[in-house]
Amino acid sequence: MAISRRLLSDDEHVVVSTRTHVKALLLPAVWLILLAAVAGFVASYAGGQAGRAKPLLVGVIWLLALAVAVKLVFAPFLRWLTTTYTVTNRRLITRTGILSRRGHDIPLPRINDVAYEHGLVDRMFGCGTLVISDASDRGSVVLHDIPHVEQVHLQISDLLYGDRPDEEARRLDDGT
């Protein structure tokens, strides 16, 4: 899952490497179960009297079920499998794509704000949405269903702001 070492600079190292939470596969799993049940029922009903199956009709039913499964089940699974989010000590790297790959890199100095959101369901699954605002006209990058989003948020904040809070507290205590 980690990004290839050859795509990193000499002094760059991976801090966080993840993909979308497996929660993203729940709906495709439900579709697969429903599709198999409906196709099985229709295929058995189309079999006719006394169990004599009409092979062509049953084959067409299962081919249609397969075509729908490709769209509703296999494509989301491949999208989940091929999408990665990597944070290094220098940039945020997103890579996605099944047949053609698409990537987006944001240098850490261009990131203005990092926030996270997670509702009740996200909290139950231990994931959330990471919102990264950068200094571009695009606005912000929204990464949905990030596992352990609070820890990822903290690690990115540490990279961005380093020891600034401690330095400021020290200066305030010293009166400088």
| pLDDT at residue 29 in the model | 96
| pLDDT (tens place) for every residue of the chain, 176 residues total | 567 677 777 788 888 889 989 999 999 999 999 999 999 998 888 766 555 558 788 888 899 999 999 999 999 999 999 999 999 888 888 888 888 888 888 888 888 889 999 889 999 999 999 999 887 767 788 899 999 999 999 999 988 887 544 444 444 455 54
Domain regions of the chain by residue span: 25-79, 88-174
How many Å apart are CA 93 and CA 107, to the nearest integer? Answer: 9
| pLDDT at residue 129 in the model | 93
Q: How many C-beta neighbours within 10 Å does residue 97 have?
A: 12
Give me the CATH code for the 88-174 domain, please.
Answer: 2.30.29
How many Å apart are CA 11 and CA 35, to the nearest integer? Answer: 50
| pLDDT at residue 2 in the model | 63
Kindly tell me the burial class for residue 111, based on how many C-beta atoms sit within 10 Å of its own C-beta (0-12, 13-18, 19 or more): buried
Here the tokens at position 164 are: 């600034």
Q: Across-strand partners of 140? A: 133
